[in-house]
Amino acid sequence: MLPTKTQLIGLKADRFRHPLDLEATINLRRLPGLDLLVRNLLGGVSEDFLYLNNIAASVLIGEKQLPDIHKLLVEACQILDLEVPQLYLKQNPAPNAYTMAMRGKKPFIVVHTSLVDLLTPAELQAVIAHELGHLKCEHGVYLTLANIIVLATSGLMPAGIGNAIAQNLQAQMLQWLRCAEFSCDRAALLVSQDPKTVISVLMKLSGGSPILAPMLNVDAFLDQARAYEAIGTTNFGKMLAAAQTEQLSHPVPVLRAKEIDLWSQTDNYQSLLNNPTMRYDKQAINSGGWRNW
């Protein structure tokens, strides 16, 4: 971690949470019995399944195993003021990362090998910070359900678990997850403290490869994002954009890039980095822990 980076001791999630995330989370909490569904129907089976799958067939990163990547995790946790979760490296040709967390249990993050091959260390840390953002924002119960839905549809979960989730609930969970991603992108920016690093991750996930990644241009990708935004100013464009995203677990990358570029220029973001003496919480001490759990 560069010594010039600001550590956000006592940081509260509401200081950076995206308004869409807040609204979507409130809507989910209005669904009766959702927490009970996750814990009783899904939590005991699916989370154990995924945990055992990772610990049996992935590499647990630590001080003695890929220590450079472990340092990226530790530094990101120091900046966001979080306890360090487990981080696994999983062999997979699709660049991806995800987090599993149930209240009262230790969360873990999974990163695919192809993602490590694609990104620079700073970009990889931004991805790790994005996943930490889910923990900081207390996305645990809903995030677990959303990830189960995504993994079930990809064939990585037992079929019965995926079939247990109603179609309308799936649509609501994917809508929530798309909104939650905006908050986690902000967490990535708070750790990288360089918007181009976060935008570069989104660009490479859109059309990068280990060979082409160094040739890609962040400024050109932002121009592309503005062109996409211009299309959405018409009613027809809005309809097409909605149809394009309704089955996605993440917002389209150009939209996420535009959101990060805009937020990096706000007083909200600048005040978090430029007022370290505020310490964000007069009661806070640098003791780590799941401060928002």
Q: Which of 47, 123, 131, 259 is catalytic?
A: 131
d(CA 140, CA 133): 11
Q: Catalytic site residue 131?
A: yes
Alpha helices in the chain (DSSP H): 19-29, 34-36, 48-57, 67-80, 113-118, 121-136, 140-153, 159-163, 167-192, 195-207, 218-231, 235-245, 253-263, 267-274
Sign of CA dihedral 66, 197, 222, 248: positive
β-pair partners for 59: 89
247: Cα separation from own chain's centroid: 18
Q: Is the distance from CB of 4 to CB of 274 less than 8 angstroms?
A: no
Supply angle C-alpha 215, 221, 223, rounded to 5. 135
d(CA 242, CA 249): 13
β-pair partners for 111: 89, 97
Q: Which pairing describes strands 86-90 and 97-100: parallel, antiparallel, or unpaired?
A: unpaired
Q: Which pairing describes strands 97-100 and 108-112: parallel, antiparallel, or unpaired?
A: antiparallel
Q: Return the closest-CA partner of residue 110 out of 185, 59, 155.
A: 59
Would you please indicate which residues are annotated as catalytic (active-site) residues? 131
